[in-house]
Amino acid sequence: MAFLEIRDLTKQFGGLVANNNITFDVLEGEIIGVIGPNGAGKTTLFNCITGVYRPNRGSILFKGEKISGLRPYEICKYGIARTFQLIQVFSDMTCLENVVVGTFLKAKHLDQAKERALRFLQRLNLLEKKDILAGNLTLADRKKLEVARALATEPELLLLDEVAGGLNTSEVLEFIEVVRGINRSGITIILIEHVMEAVMNIAGRIVVLDGGKKITEGSPQQVASDPQVIEAYLGEGYRA
Amino acid sequence: MKPHWKRSILYGGAILLSLILPLIYPRPFFLHVLIMFFLYSLLSESWNIIGGYAGQISFGHALYFGLAAYVSTFLFVRFGITPWLGLVAAISVASAAGLLAGIPFFRLRGHYFAIGTIGLTEAIAVLVNEWELVGGAVGIYIPMLEPSIAHFQWKSRIPYYYVVFGFLVISMVIVHRIERSRLGYYLRAIKMNEAAAVSLGINPLKVKEIAMAISCGIAALGGVFYAQYTLYVAPDTVMALQISVDMAVITLVGGAGTLFGPIIGAAILIPLAEILRVYLGKVGTLHIAIFGMIVMFVAIFQPSGIIIYFQRLRRWKREV
Amino acid sequence: MEGSIFLQCIISGILMGGVFALIAIGLSIIWGVMEIVNFAHGDFMMIAMFITLGLFQYLGLIPIFSLPITAAILFGLGVVTYRLIIRPVIKAPMVAQIVVTFGLLLFIRNMGQFIFKADFRTLPAKAATLDGWLGGSINVYGLMIPPPKLVAFILSLIFIILVDQFFKRTTVGMALRATAQNRKASQLVGVDVDRMYELSWGLGILCVGIGGALLSLFHYIHPEVGLVFTLFSFIIVTLGGFGSIWGAFAGGLIIGLAESIGGVYIAPAYKFAVAFIIFIVVLFVRPQGLFGEG
C-alpha cells in the first residue's frame, strides 16, 4: 500500500477532460515532481487530491483510506496540506496571524498557536517579518509565508504548486534548500514545477502530464531524455 | 508581553464613570438616551459577529432580537415565569433559530444573503402577526407590577441602566474573547479568503454556525431587556426592519469587525436619533433619512468605519 | 363558481405580473452591467408614483400623457444618483456598495414619509381610467378585466419589447451588453465604460419609473411601498436568471400570479411570504434561475 495512490483519476469540465485516467503512486518520504506544459492538468490534479474538485471517475487513497470526494477541510485533517499557484495569503493579516490560522488546526488556544506559529516562521526565515501585513511582502516572502502556513497544519503530505515561479536565482536556491529541509523532517512532498533547475534537483521521481494524460514517469534523468517528454515541451514552444 | 496598563486605566475609568453617572445626573431623558446607547451597542456587537467578523451582511438580525423578546414575555405574562429564567429560554430559542436559518442561508453570498435575511424576517413577522396565541398584530402587553428584580421591573430608570450596561459589558467580553480565539481567527480567514481557509482545515459552515449561535444569544439579551423596558412586544416593534438596519448601520459606520466599532457607531448615531426624534417631534422618521445620508457618506468616504481615525491616531502616537 | 374566481386571479396576476416585470428589469439592467444591486430600487419606483399622482393633481395630466415626463425625470435621477453616489464606490469593496444603496433606501423612503406622511393614496379614478376613456370593466366570457390593469400591462409589454430591441439592435445596446459581459474587453474596443455605467443607471431607473407610473394605475401609493417591490424585483430577476429580459418577464408573471392567488386563497398578509418561499426554493434548487445561463 503506497502512501498516496491515484487510480484512473478522471476530471472533466463540460467537454474538456482535464485529468484523463491518471494513475501513479507516491511513496512515503519521497519528493515527487509533476511537470508538463501549461494546461496539462497539473493544478487540476492537485485540486482533486485536496478535495477542491470531486473526480468524475477513479479514486485517490491516502494511507489506504479513500479521500477522493471529501471536502478540502476534511482532507486537511487527514494530513494533506497545499500551497496555491496564485498566492492566497490573507493580505490584511500579519505574517504571524497568517500562520496562526494554520496552527489552530492542532493548537488549543491563542498563546499555544502563536508560539508554534513563531517556530514555523523561523524555519522559513520569516521571523523578523512576523508583524508585517502579508499584503506588503515581496512575492518570494509571500510564497514562503504560504508554505509556512501550510506546514503549520502539521501535514504528512505537502503539495507545492509552482512555488519557484517568479523567483530569482538565489531565491530558487533558497527554495530548494527549504524543500529539502521539509522533506528531511519527514514530510512527503509532491511539487508541480515549471522551473526545471528546481524540480530536477529536488525530486527523486518525476511524473509527466500532457493534455490531461500521464505520459511517463521515472527518475529526472530518464524523464529528461524521454523523446515523448521532449516533444511535449518543444512541440509547445515551451521554455522553462 | 507589553504592559497594557495605559489601556486598562482607560477601560477602568470608562466603566467607573458609567457606573457612577446615573447617580450624579439622574435626569430621565439623559438616562434613556444612555440606555438606548448601551442597548444598541449591545445589538450592534451581536450583529458585528456575523456581519463584521464573518462578513455576512444581514439586514434581518432583528428576528432573533424579536424572538427572544417574545419568548421571555410570553413565558412571563402567561405562566408567571420570571424574565431572568425566560432569558435562558429566549437565548436558547434565538440561538436555535439562528442555527436553523444558517444552514440554508450561509450558502448565499453578498446580496443574496442580504435580501434573504430581509425576506426571512419579514416572512416570520407576517406569521407572528397572524398568530393569535401571541397576540397577533396587537402583540403582548406586560402589566405593571410591583417593582422588583424578580419581575425585572422598576419605577426608576436607574436599575434598567445598570442591567443593560451589565449586558453590554458581558457581550463585549465575549466578542473580545472571540477575537483572541480560534473562532475569531477562523472567521477572519473565511471572510478574507475562503478557498485558502478550507485548505487549512476550516469548515466554513460550522464556524459561521457557531458564530451565529453566539450572535443570536447576545441579541437575545437585548431582546429580553427591551421587552421589559418598554413593557410591550409586537411584530412591528421588535421585528421591525428598522431595528435590523440600525444594528447593521451602527456597526458599519463605527467600524465592522472591530471590538469598539459598534460602540463608536452607537455613540454617534443613537444620541443623534434620540435628539432628532424629540426636536422634530412627530414628524415620523426624518431622523432615519438623516441616518441614511450619514450612511451614504461613510460608505463613500470611509467604508472601514469611523474607527479608522482612532486607529490612525494610535499609530501616529506610537510613532511620535 | 370557484373556477371563475380562480381564472379571475390568473388574469389579474398576469396583468400585474407584466408591470412587475418591467420594474424588475430596471434592477436587472443595473445589476447586469455593473454588478451592483440597487437596494433603493423600489424607492425610485415610489418617487415615480408620487410624480404621477402630483402631475395629475396639480397639472391635470393623465398618466398616458405624464408618462414621458415621469420617465425623463427618473432617467435624470438615475444619472444623478450614479454620478454622486455610485461612481465613488465602484472600486470599493462590495460591503460599501451594498451599504451605500441601502443608505439611499433609508434616505428616499424616510424623506418620502416626512414629506408625504404615512397616508395611503390612490390615483383618482378619473386618472386611472384615463379620463373616463376606459370606463367600467371589459367583459370577456364572463371574466372581468379591469381596464387600468390591462392598459398598464399592455404599455409595460410594449416597453419591455422596446428595451429588448434596444439591447439587441442598437449600437449602444450592444455596447451595454458588452460591458456587462466583459468590462476590460469592452474598454479595449473603445467602449466608454463610465458612460455605459451612467447609461445603465439612467435606463434602469427609467424602467423603474415607467413601471411605477403604470403601477399607480391600480396600486396604492405610499412612501413605504418601495421595499416590497425591491424584494419582488430581486426575486423576479433571480427567478428569471441573469441577462434574460424575457426570463424576467416570466419571473414577473410568476410573482404576479403568486401575489394574486396567494392573496385570495391563503390570506392577503401572506402574499409576500409566498413569493419569498418561491424565491428560496429556486435559489437552492436552480440558482441560475429558471431561464438563466448557468
Cα distance between residue A58 and residue A43, in whole Å:
17
Find the CB nearest B192 among A52, A90, A104: A90
pLDDT of C294: 38
Please give the grid coordinates belonging to residue A160. 507545492
Cα distance between residue C199 and residue C205, in whole Å:
10
Cα distance between residue A3 and residue B1, in whole Å:
43
Q: Which of B182, B186, B200 is the mutation pick for testing A, counting most A CBs within 10 A?
A: B200
pLDDT of B1: 45
User: B-chain residues within 8 Å CB-CB of A89?
Assistant: 196
The reply to whether B197 touches chain A by the CB within 8 Å rule is: yes
Q: With cut-offs at 50, 70 and 90, classify the pLDDT of residue B281.
A: low
Residue of A nearest to B191 (CA): A90
Q: Is residue A14 helix, strand or coil?
A: coil
pLDDT of A32: 94
Please give the grid coordinates belonging to residue C95. 460591503
Helix H or strand E segment including A91: none
The reply to whether B201 touches chain A by the CB within 8 Å rule is: yes
Give φ, ψ of A77 to 5 degrees.
Answer: -65, -25
Contact A89 B202 (CB under 8 A): no
Total domains in the fold of chain A: 1
- Chain B neighbors (3+ CB pairs < 8 Å): A, C
Residue of C nearest to B253 (CA): C99
Tell me: the pLDDT tens digits for B3-55? 567 778 888 888 888 888 888 888 888 899 999 999 999 999 999 999 999 98
User: A-chain residues within 8 Å CB-CB of B180?
Assistant: 110
Cα distance between residue A157 and residue A6, in whole Å:
14
Please give the grid coordinates belonging to residue C63. 398618466
Q: Does C260 or B64 have the greater pLDDT score?
A: B64
Tell me: the pLDDT tens digits for B215-250? 999 999 999 999 999 999 999 899 988 899 999 999
Find the CB nearest B185 among A71, A104, A153: A104
CA angle B191, B196, B200 (to 5 degrees): 105
Kindly report the CATH number assigned to the domain that includes residue B254: 1.10.3470
pLDDT of B147: 87
Neighbours of C233 (CB within 10 A): 32
SS3 content of chain A, % helix, strand, coil (to 5): 40, 25, 35
Q: Does C187 or A125 have the greater pLDDT score?
A: A125
Mean pLDDT to the nearest integer, A151-174: 91
Please give the grid coordinates belonging to residue C134. 376606459
Give φ, ψ of A70 to 5 degrees.
Answer: -80, 165
Tell me: the pLDDT tens digits for C83-124? 999 999 988 888 888 889 999 999 999 999 888 887 888 877
pLDDT at A237 over 60: no
DSSP letter string, A97-141: HHHHHHHTTT-SSHHHHHHHHHHHHHHTT-GGGTTSBGGGS-HHH
Q: How far apart are the first and last CA of chain A?
A: 35
Cα distance between residue B46 and residue B58, in whole Å:
11
Q: With cut-offs at 50, 70 and 90, classify the pLDDT of residue A239.
A: very low
Å from B164 to nearest chain C CA?
Answer: 28
pLDDT at C293 over 80: no
Find the CB nearest C96 among B119, B294, B299: B299
pLDDT at B2 over 60: no
The residues that bridge with B148 in the sheet, in sequence order, are B153
pLDDT at C131 over 70: no
Contact A90 B193 (CB under 8 A): yes
Residue A98 lies in a domain: no
Cα distance between residue A112 and residue C158, in whole Å:
68
pLDDT of C291: 59
Q: Do residues A144 and A124 lie in contact, with contact meaning Cβ atoms separated by under 8 Å?
A: yes
Q: Does C11 or C272 have the greater pLDDT score?
A: C11
Which burial class, exposed, middle or buried, applies to B244 when counting CB atoms under 10 A from its CB (0-12, 13-18, 19+)? buried
Total domains in the fold of chain C: 1
pLDDT of B172: 95
Residue C113's nearest CA partner among C224, C228, C230, C225 is: C224
For residue C59, give the amino acid letter: L
Contact B252 C111 (CB under 8 A): no
Q: Which percentage of chain C shows pLDDT scores above 70?
A: 88
pLDDT of B64: 97
Contact C99 B55 (CB under 8 A): no
pLDDT at C287 over 80: no
Q: Which residue has the cell 423603474?
A: C208
Q: With cut-offs at 50, 70 and 90, classify the pLDDT of residue C134.
A: low
Tell me: the pLDDT tens digits for B107-134? 887 788 888 898 899 889 888 988 888 8
Cα distance between residue A181 and residue A172, in whole Å:
14
Q: With cut-offs at 50, 70 and 90, classify the pLDDT of residue C132.
A: low
Q: With cut-offs at 50, 70 and 90, classify the pLDDT of residue A240.
A: very low
Tell me: the pLDDT tens digits for C183-199? 777 777 777 888 889 99
pLDDT of A238: 46
Q: Does A76 or B283 have the greater pLDDT score?
A: A76
Q: Which domain holds residue B285?
A: 5-319
Residue B308's nearest CA partner among B256, B273, B268, B266 is: B256
Torsion angle (degrees, nearest 10) of CA B28, B285, B258, B178? 70
Secondary structure of chain B as H, E, C letters = CCCCHHHHHHHHHHHHHHHHHHHHCCCHHHHHHHHHHHHHHHHHHHHHHHHHHCCCCCCCCHHHHHHHHHHHHHHHHHHCCCHHHHHHHHHHHHHHHHHHHHHHHCCCCHHHHHHHHHHHHHHHHHHHHHCHHHCCCCCEECCCCCCECCCCECCCCHHHHHHHHHHHHHHHHHHHHHHCCHHHHHHHHHHHCHHHHHHCCCCHHHHHHHHHHHHHHHHHHHHHHHHHHHCEECHHHHCCHHHHHHHHHHHHHHCCCCCCHHHHHHHHHHHHHHHHHHHCCCCCCHHHHHHHHHHHHHHHHCCCCCHHHHHHHHHHHHHC
pLDDT at C263 over 80: no
Give φ, ψ of B153 to 5 degrees.
Answer: -145, 135
Residue A228 lies in a domain: yes
Please give the grid coordinates belonging to residue A78. 487527514
* For helices C147-169 and C171-181, angle between their N-to-C axes, nearest 10 degrees: 80
- Is beta strand A4-13 parallel, antiparallel or unpaired with respect to A57-62? antiparallel
Tell me: the pLDDT tens digits for B257-267? 999 999 999 99
Contact A76 B199 (CB under 8 A): yes
DSSP letter string, chain C: -HHHHHHHHHHHHHHHHHHHHHHHHHHHHHHHHH----TTHHHHHHHHHHHHHHHHHHH---HHHHHHHHHHHHHHHHHHHIIIIIGGGTTS-HHHHHHHHHHHHHHHHHHHHHHHTT--B---HHHHTTTTTT-S-EEETTEEE-HHHHHHHHHHHHHHHHHHHHHHHSHHHHHHHHHHH-HHHHHHTT--HHHHHHHHHHHHHHHHHHHHHHHTTTS-B-TTHHHHHHHHHHHHHHHH-TT-HHHHHHHHHHHHHHHHHIIIII-GGGHHHHHHHHHHHHHHH-TT-SS---
The reply to whether A84 touches chain B by the CB within 8 Å rule is: yes
Cα distance between residue C255 and residue C263, in whole Å:
12
Å from C125 to nearest chain B CA?
Answer: 29
pLDDT of C288: 63
User: B-chain residues within 8 Å CB-CB of A101?
Assistant: 185-186, 188-189, 197, 200, 202
Q: Which domain holds residue A21?
A: 1-76+189-240
Q: Which of C27, C35, C95 is the mutation pick for testing B, counting most B CBs within 10 A?
A: C95
pLDDT of C135: 60
Tell me: the pLDDT tens digits for B44-99? 999 999 999 998 999 999 999 999 999 999 999 999 999 999 999 999 999 999 99
Distances (CA, A) of C154 to A184, B274, C61, C84, C161: 77, 48, 20, 35, 11
B153 contacts: CB under 8 Å, gap ≥ 6: B142, B144, B145, B146, B147, B228, B231
Residue A234 lies in a domain: yes
Cα distance between residue B87 and residue B95, in whole Å:
12
pLDDT of C290: 63
Q: Which of B183, B199, B304 is the mutation pick for testing A, counting most A CBs within 10 A?
A: B199
The residues that bridge with A158 in the sheet, in sequence order, are A81, A189
Contact B126 C117 (CB under 8 A): no
Neighbours of A136 (CB within 10 A): 12
Q: Which percentage of chain B shows pLDDT scores above 90?
A: 57
Cα distance between residue A240 and residue A38, in whole Å:
11
Distances (CA, A) of A137 to A94, A161, B204, B315: 10, 19, 27, 20
Q: With cut-offs at 50, 70 and 90, classify the pLDDT of residue C129.
A: low
Q: Which of A43, A75, A78, A90 is the mutation pick for testing B, counting most B CBs within 10 A?
A: A90
The lowest-confidence range among B123-137, B166-180, C66-80, C121-135 is C121-135
Q: Which domain holds residue C113?
A: 24-223
Total domains in the fold of chain B: 1
Mean pLDDT to the nearest integer, B274-299: 80
Q: Which percentage of chain C shows pLDDT scores above 90?
A: 35
pLDDT of A161: 93
pLDDT at B152 over 90: no
Tell me: the pLDDT tens digits for A88-110? 999 999 999 999 999 999 999 99
Kindly report the CATH number assigned to the domain that includes residue A50: 3.40.50.300
Q: How far apart are the first and last CA of chain C?
A: 43
Helix H or strand E segment including A183: helix A169-184
Distances (CA, A) of C73 to C38, C69, C100, C203, C212: 18, 6, 22, 12, 13
The lowest-confidence range among A73-87, A180-194, C32-46, C165-179 is C165-179
